[in-house]
Chains A and B, each alone.
Chain A
């Protein structure tokens, strides 16, 4: 019976109920929900659909195939881990919306038509922002607002695009869309914003570091991965994605190296990982697509693991800047260990999960003979190791001792991190389990001599570079500074636009008000009164000719003018006019 339920239903309904449950029960409930949802989802058959007729449109609330199922599985696992990790959270709103957020992510990947996708897409934005606002400080409030603004804009692009797409094709079905039509292009831009394309990536590095420790975990698990799923579904094989992806894989490395806030480093690293996925989707061969999807799967786990470890550090020390931390391995050995598992995974050490998926994309690029793309990804892979694999654990747990002594992370955080670490290592050691779930047919073996050897070389030369840079003291030091990113354009440009709009439209408004409402009304009022005044003036002249005394003359003229205003004419005048008209008409109307 439970298999009949829509996979998102349990999370969404349960999320609403979570608002009404008392403290401890709510926390346990929020762990139970994704587990229940996972059990339910495992029972849902591939190929299951739930067509709905809504306002004359054919909607598919549910479309289960291997691609959506894999993402559904991923989101449930992530939700379980995140729920365990956030067992300390007492905030009713944060927990409830987190479940709704997970539910809308699941709903979005199972949506079979664009309208349903759009609904969950917007729901995703609205529910996720509470993970930022949950921090309840002015910085988080501002970052959340900016985040919401960007994501609502993305949703609107999707909405306009789907309307145009529907008009052009008459179908709302969500399959391959392509960039040929305007509608497809708009939807692509909408997806792209959520994928954190270059220049519109700033929301990610703005909002994630501002979120609560558990909020950042939720955020890193769902939003961008839904977008990656949507891209893979709608725009697989679009060549432009290769270029965008390569750019995304490279440019964040520089920012990540100089950034001080370690969670922001992770944010940049996330853009870099999405770059790999975009390249894979752009190449569009089964191997590349499998690589992109598998990498998305792994990214949620190891990036989640890193965010969890940084969250634990933030939770215990209240600090997250590389310049403030260091030497924490003594106080938080388990956290440090899990962090290093995550770092090894993201850097694609053999036997860790990154190793089995990242190289799929690179192999696909190599198979396609795309030398420059391959080189870009190689550079990016080295960079990842540099900033995420070494920098994060090094500055947080080793480096110079900051003197902070604190407790180990709470048990539930350790449990969540342990789960994540186990999955990272498990997938790294037994990649066939993951490969078996991948949607496309492609044969790939990660553990070849060449691959292991080249990857190890890459990693060790990277490490060598880091070490020598540190010893030579050339490595950019951890500084408390604000790094200028593309958000300068958004912030300054936004303010500029606002000012320009203020000047233009309020100015226009003022001008129109002065022009129309006062001048025109006055002039026309005067013009409307002109006949009366004219009559008064003429009458004055007439009375003077007749020799009426000046005082009486003026009074009579004024009376006549007033009569014009009131329409109080002698009725005979009008009758006379009518008779004259009859006469004129008869005389004129000659045939």
Chain B
């Protein structure tokens, strides 16, 4: 049975969604249980896949045993990179499923069944994107995750949720269409949809302008979907006004999985040599990433409420990953892939905490943090872990991803990127310590400490329940676990990159890993 795991992980949430649809219409209360069990199973399967891939290497699976690469057979292909992403998606999904029962009565009040069906389908799509080795199948999965995402986010209680989601829909569709167009060009050129197959043909015939157009279309399409800065204007409003739980599920995953797709396209489909072989494109893209990092950080500084601030930080983090991937060396790429995991858990922690603190409300003004450490100490502790990760303090994963990325930047000699990383870390520090200061000392200027908050703030409507705290602490723990396991994780990533032909830049010096023990608890 284990040999079918790569397809199981897609099918588990898919059948979970079907089950929700069948049973949930009659008994809406079983839906959370189905989601929890399904995602729990997915975590186990993902962990098994990760373990095998880490030990053995690449794992190829042909759906329905249609093995001929030129035929219609769909190949699922798991190596170290997507096994890690798969595990991260599974764990994030499970934690969201843990979180939901406590949240249900308030947020997705009217439509629990619909919510869970859509959530599980979103997971199906994300798992599919991650495991597939077929460029067109990837498009289908992107559409599954995108369509369910639109529906989920439009359920938000705030009146602007629908308009924001509509913008998202337009932009997402354009992005997906670009991608599809690019895949079409590739098919035209190579006659293949299988990624590895496309790569062999392209490698034989590198100087092709069709491939060039295809690559450009695919990249711009993916940047649209992952919200790289000038194309990412849709993102803040969507996750700010969308329902908190849906935002907590989508915000950590959708952009990160898209980053993974970009990495996959660069590394496997087009190939390292093809992408970085000539032209100054990579230099330009890194500068674009620098602009994205700084713009996201500045927008976060200007934000007056928590969720918008977090959303702007996502824009900044996307810049990290795109820049790292385009640095054209192995450390940058390792950092980008590692940051997919790290950022998923950090964002999840912060969004879950924001969900508890803000409740249904979309807008949570920063002043409302006043006295929060006293009123919600447990939630704030987890929030602080996520915040420290964002700032990049060891042993959280934020520190290690910045370490890898800065290392890649130095190796590439791209000091603009390194500087942007450092500036953005400093801005993150200002952002989160401003919040801590308000939470401890109050928001009035001049009231710096020593006499406690003066204003009695209105009581929060939401108290954290057991499930909420469990999810929150699970996410916060993962922030640290991924950090502590950075040595092992980066080892897995590097082996996978080596198989994919990413050249060793400098003599491989090992990561600053504090702990070499494997983190099999994904």
State the A residues within 8 Å of B (CB). Answer: 510, 513, 516-518, 520-521, 524-525, 527-529, 565-569, 571, 573-575, 577-578, 581-582, 585-586, 588-591
A582 and B178 form a contact (CB under 8 A) = yes
A567–B215 Cα distance when bound, in Å, is 29
Least CB separation from A514: chain B residue = B448
Chain B positions within 8 Å of A517 at CB level: 430, 433-434, 437
| Residues from 234 to 289 in B contacting A, C-beta threshold 8 Å | 234, 236-237, 277-281, 284
The 9 closest A-B CB pairs, nearest first, are: A528-B302, A585-B216, A524-B301, A591-B278, A528-B298, A571-B167, A571-B170, A582-B220, A528-B301
Question: What are 28 A-B contacts with C-beta separation under 8 Å?
Answer: A513-B448, A517-B433, A520-B430, A521-B430, A527-B301, A527-B302, A528-B302, A567-B237, A571-B170, A571-B234, A574-B230, A574-B233, A575-B171, A578-B178, A578-B220, A581-B223, A582-B216, A585-B220, A585-B281, A586-B213, A586-B216, A588-B280, A588-B281, A588-B284, A589-B215, A589-B216, A589-B281, A591-B278
**How far does the Cβ of B519 sit from chain A's closest Cβ, in whole Å?**
23
> A567-B233, A571-B167, A574-B233 in contact; A585/B448 too (CB < 8 A)?
no
Q: Which residue of A lies closest to B298 (CB)?
A: A528
- Name the residue among B231, B237, B302, B433 with the largest chain A CB count within 10 angstroms: B302
B176 to chain A, nearest CB (A): 12
Q: Give the A-binding residues of B (Cβ under 8 A).
A: 166-167, 170-171, 174-175, 178, 206-207, 212-213, 215-217, 219-220, 223-224, 230-231, 233-234, 236-237, 277-281, 284, 298-303, 427, 430, 433-434, 437, 445, 448
Number of A-B contacts (CB under 8 A): 94
Q: What are the residues of chain B within 8 A of A520 when measuring CB–CB?
A: 430
Cβ-defined contact, B299 with A528, below 8 A: yes
Of the candidates B167, B279, B434, which one forms a contact with A591 in the assembled complex, judged by CB atoms under 8 Å apart? B279
Inter-chain contacts of A513 with B (CB < 8 A): 448
* Minimum C-beta distance from A360 to chain B (A): 55
A516 to B167, CA, bound (A): 36
CA gap between A518 and B448 in the complex, in Å = 11
A567:B212 contact, CB within 8 angstroms: no
Please, which residues of chain B bring their CB within 8 A of the CB of A589?
Answer: 212, 215-216, 279, 281
A144 to chain B, nearest CB (A): 29
Closest CB in chain A relative to B296 CB, distance in Å: 10
- Cα–Cα distance between A185 and B210 once the two chains are bound (Å): 74
The smallest C-beta distance from A116 to any residue of chain B, in angstroms, reads: 30
Residue of A at shortest CB range from B274?
Answer: A591
| Chain A minimum-CB-distance residue to B167 | A571
- Most A CB within 10 A of own CB, among B230, B236, B280: B230
Centre residue among B215, B219, B298, B303 by max chain A CB count within 10 A: B298
The answer to whether residues A578 and B174 also contact, given A524-B301, A589-B216 and a CB cut-off of 8 A, is yes
The answer to whether A527 touches B298 (Cβ under 8 A) is yes
Q: In the bound complex, what is the Cα–Cα distance between A573 and B167 (angstroms)?
A: 11
A503 to chain B, nearest CB (A): 17
B175 touches A578 (CB 8 A): yes
Chain A nearest CB from B328 CB (Å) reads 14
Decide if A574 touches B171 in the complex (CB within 8 Å).
Answer: yes
A-chain residues with CB within 8 Å of residue B234 when the two chains form the complex: 567, 571, 574
Contacts of A574 in B (CB 8 A): 171, 224, 230-231, 233-234
**Residue B301 contacts which of A518, A521, A588 (CB distance < 8 angstroms)?**
A521
Beyond A518-B445, A573-B233, A589-B216, 11 extra complex contacts between A and B, CB < 8 Å: A513-B448, A517-B430, A524-B301, A524-B427, A525-B302, A578-B220, A589-B212, A590-B279, A591-B206, A591-B207, A591-B277
Closest CB in chain A relative to B83 CB, distance in Å: 31
Q: Which residue in chain B gives the minimum CB-CB distance to A568?
A: B237
* Minimum distance in angstroms from B346 CB to a CB of chain A: 22
Q: Closest B-chain residue to A574, C-beta based?
A: B233
- Chain B residues with CB under 8 Å of A566's CB are 237
| Contact in complex: A585, B219 (CB < 8 Å) | yes
Nearest residue in A to B175 (C-beta to C-beta)? A578
